[in-house]
């Protein structure tokens, strides 16, 4: 009996600790929280994480990690462009980053060569909605582009592939829940109760699972993320137009559900009611040829098979540029 009571007391204590921590840190960036803790112990003034950009050279084939505090960019400055023309910014995952592809053959570099417009490639390996939004948040303060350059951007191109839906994490959904309840916390006494109860670790865990395991709720969450990314783009590049380029190479795939549906332009139709987003599908540009073996990577030292190779971009880019014009 004593052992049973002891286990209950320990369990309650652990739950209390988890709840206490969740109230203070669950919505914080882990990296920032650890820095705060470190500086608190060392009695130092809090400093923001040291984010910076690293430029790769024209001939560099080596792949760099794009996680943590270092933002790698694969801009191809050596490809000639007309400085009087408006710029194009690219965001996305390894497809746009060009994992395993020489810099002068990446999506952005090929567009620059064809249009003679200066391009900025801000994509990163493994990125989804949230991480692309995060890069745009930090971009203005890091002088990756000057204010004059940011004002001269005409198009922001976000390349979406089905796996971006799968990359949704518990942290991102918890941030979404925080925004929702924080916004409505003062509407009524009931909303205030919801706000404080939702901060509980276990309640939050339940809500996260409810969203990620429900098609309709997850769909609404993806709309929220894309809309937030769009707003940050317009804020960072005030004179730009936002383009959602859907990379559809799943014609013969067994993937079903939300991931497959997200490749259809009609899936994102509700967003167009909230934001000025141009939606383009590679299927509309080049048909169903991207699933063919010749347009996928085969023997490449830097990555797993399945990414589009430079031949795929050579197929897409001319048609995409026609759309821009």
Residue 177 scores a pLDDT above 80: no
pLDDT for res 150: 92
pTM of the predicted protein model: 0.77
Task: Categorize the per-residue pLDDT at 76 as very low, low, confident or very high, splitting at 50, 70 and 90.
Answer: confident
- The yes-or-no verdict on residue 318 having pLDDT over 80 is yes
Cα–Cα distance list, 130 to 18, 167, 189, 248 (Å): 25, 9, 31, 21
Q: Is the pLDDT of residue 112 over 90?
A: yes
Residue 47 has pLDDT above 80, yes or no: no
Of residues 141 and 305, more confidence is placed in 141
| pLDDT at 239 (0 to 100) | 95
How far is Cα 237 from Cα 232, in angstroms, rounded to an integer?
8
**What is the average pLDDT across 125-153?**
80
Which tokens belong to 29?
A: 């960036």
- Beta-carbon-side half-sphere exposure of residue 114 (alpha carbons within 13 Å): 20
Mean pLDDT of the chain: 77
Helix/strand/coil (H/E/C) assignment for every residue in the chain: CHHHHHHHHHHHHHHHHHHHHHHHHCCCCHHHHHHHHHHHHCCCCCCCCCCEEEECCCCCCCCCCCCCCEEEECCCCCCCCCCCCCEEEEECCHHHHCCCCCHHHCHHHHHHHHHCCCEEECCCCCCCHHHHHHHHHHCHHHCCCCHHHHHCEEEEEEEECCHHHHCCCHHHHHHHHHHHHHHHCCCCHHHHHHHHHHCCHHHHHHHHHHHHCCHHHHHHHHHHHHHHHHHHHHHHCCCCEEEEEECCCCCCCCCCCHHHHCCCHHHHHHHHCCCCEEEEEHHHHHCCHHHCHHHECCCCCCCCCCCECHHHHHHHHHHHHHHHC
* The predicted structure's pLDDT at residue 84: 94
Check: CB of residue 191 under 8 Å from CB of residue 221: no
For 52-170+210-324, CATH gives: 3.40.50.1110
Which token pair is 296?
């996928």
The token pair that represents 224 in the structure block: 């929220």
Domain ranges across the chain: 1-42, 52-170+210-324
| Burial group, residue 105, by CB count within 10 angstroms (0-12, 13-18, 19+) | middle
What are the tokens at 73? 């960019």
Percent of the chain, pLDDT > 90?
26
What mean pLDDT do residues 130-137 have?
Answer: 78
Reference 135, options 169, 103, 116, 158; nearest CA is 158
Q: Band of the pLDDT at 182, cuts 50, 70, 90?
A: low
Structural tokens at position 251: 């014609």
Residue 208 has pLDDT above 90, yes or no: no
Per-residue tokens: 50: 């040291």
Mean pLDDT of 137-156: 82
Q: Are 181 and 268 in contact (CB under 8 A)?
A: no
pLDDT one-digit tens code per residue, 209-236: 888 888 998 898 899 889 989 999 999 9
pLDDT at 301: 44
Compute the average pLDDT of residues 116-143: 80
State the pLDDT confidence band at 193, using cuts at 50, 70 and 90. confident
Residue 242 has pLDDT above 70, yes or no: yes
pLDDT at 120 over 60: yes
- Please give the structure tokens belonging to residue 140: 């203005």
């Amino acid at each position: 009996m004593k052992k049973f009571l002891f286990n209950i007391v320990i369990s309650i204590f652990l739950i209390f600790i988890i709840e206490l921590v969740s109230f203070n840190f669950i919505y914080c960036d882990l990296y920032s929280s650890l820095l705060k803790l470190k500086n608190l112990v060392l009695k130092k003034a809090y400093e923001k994480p040291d984010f910076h950009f690293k430029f790769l050279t024209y001939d560099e084939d080596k792949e760099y990690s794009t996680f943590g505090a270092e933002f790698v960019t694969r801009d191809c400055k050596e490809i000639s462009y007309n400085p009087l023309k408006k710029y194009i910014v690219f965001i996305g995952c390894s497809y746009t980053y060009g994992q395993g592809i020489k810099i002068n053959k990446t999506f952005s570099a090929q567009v620059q060569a064809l249009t003679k417009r200066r391009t900025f490639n801000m994509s990163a390996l493994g990125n989804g909605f949230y991480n692309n939004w995060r890069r745009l948040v930090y971009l203005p303060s890091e002088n990756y582009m000057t204010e004059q350059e940011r004002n001269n951007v005409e198009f922001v191109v976000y390349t979406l592939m089905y796996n971006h839906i799968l990359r949704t994490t518990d942290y991102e959904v918890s941030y979404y829940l925080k925004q929702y309840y924080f916004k409505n916390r003062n509407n009524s006494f009931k909303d205030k109760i919801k706000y404080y109860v939702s901060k509980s670790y276990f309640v939050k865990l339940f809500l996260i699972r409810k969203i990620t395991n429900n098609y309709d709720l997850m769909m609404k969450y993806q709309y929220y993320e894309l809309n937030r990314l769009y707003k940050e783009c317009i804020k960072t590049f005030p004179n730009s137009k936002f383009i959602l380029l859907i990379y559809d190479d799943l014609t013969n795939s067994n993937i079903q559900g939300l991931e497959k549906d997200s490749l259809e332009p009609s899936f994102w139709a509700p967003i167009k009611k909230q934001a000025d987003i141009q939606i383009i599908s590679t299927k509309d540009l080049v048909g169903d040829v991207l699933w063919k073996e010749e347009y996928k990577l085969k023997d490449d030292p830097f990555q797993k098979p399945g990414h589009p190779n430079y031949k795929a971009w050579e197929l897409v880019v001319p048609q995409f540029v026609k759309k821009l014009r």
